Amino acid sequence: MGVNLKDVVSRRTITLEGLNGRSVAVDAYNALYQFLAIIRQPTGELLTDRQGRVTSHLSGILYRNSNLAEKGMKIVYVFDGKPPSLKSVEIERRRRVKETASIRYEAAVKRGDMEEARVYAQMTSKLKDSMVEDAKKLLTLLGIPWVQAPSEGEAQAAYLAQRGTVWAIASQDYDSLLFGAPRLVRNLAITGKRKLPRKNIYVDVNPELVELELVLNELGVTLDQLIDIGILVGTDFNPDGAHGVGAKTALKLIREHGSLEKIVPKLREKRLPEDLSAIKQIFHNPNVINDYRLEWNPPDVEGAVKFLCGERSFSEERTRNALEKMMKSFQETKVKRTLDRWFS
pTM of the entire predicted model: 0.89
DSSP string for 67-86: HHHHTT-EEEEEE--SPPGG
Angular region, 105: left φ>0, alpha ψ -120 to 50, beta rest: alpha
Q: Classify 60 as helix, strand or coil.
A: helix
**Helix/strand/coil (H/E/C) assignment for every residue in 200-213:** CCEEEECCEEEEHH
**pLDDT on residue 196:** 61
Alpha carbon distance 85, 17 (integer Å): 40
Helices 88-111/114-121 angle, 10° precision: 160
Q: In angstroms, what is the C-alpha Rg of the chain?
A: 21
**pLDDT on residue 198:** 62
**pLDDT on residue 161:** 96
Of 58, 33, 66, the C-alpha closest to 134 is 58
CATH 1.10.150.20 domain span(s) along the chain: 220-274
Could you tell me the CA-to-CA distances from 335 to 31, 331, 342 in Å, in that order? 30, 6, 11
**pLDDT on residue 1:** 64
Would you write out the chain's pLDDT as a tens digit for each of its 344 residues?
678 999 999 999 999 999 998 999 999 998 999 899 889 887 788 999 999 999 999 999 999 999 999 999 999 999 999 988 888 878 888 888 888 878 887 787 778 776 777 777 777 788 899 999 999 999 999 999 999 999 999 999 999 999 999 999 999 899 999 999 999 999 987 777 666 666 666 778 889 999 999 999 999 999 999 999 999 999 998 888 887 789 999 999 999 999 888 888 777 656 777 778 899 999 999 999 999 999 999 999 999 999 999 999 999 999 999 999 999 988 887 656 555 555 55
Length of the chain: 344
Of 23, 30, 139, the C-alpha closest to 75 is 23
Alpha carbon distance 161, 122 (integer Å): 31
CATH 3.40.50.1010 domain span(s) along the chain: 1-218
Which letter, b or e, does each residue of 45-75 get, where b requires 16 or more Cβ atoms within 10 Å of its Cβ? ebbeeeeebbbbbbbbbbbbbbbbbeebbbb
**pLDDT on residue 266:** 75
Q: Going by C-beta distance under 8 Å and a sequence separation of 6 or more, which residues neighbour residue 227? A: 178, 280, 283, 284
Of 103, 85, 338, 12, the C-alpha closest to 236 is 85
Alpha carbon distance 331, 189 (integer Å): 24
- Within 10 Å of residue 109's Cβ, how many Cβ atoms? 18
Q: Which helix (H) or strand (E) holds 169?
A: strand 168-170
Q: Please, are residues 16 and 191 in contact by the beta-carbon 8 Å criterion?
A: yes
Neighbour order of strands in the sheet with 168-170 = 12-13, 208-211, 183-186, 168-170, 23-27, 74-79, 146-148
CATH 1.20.1090.10 fits 220-274, yes or no: no
CATH class entry, domain 1-218: alpha beta
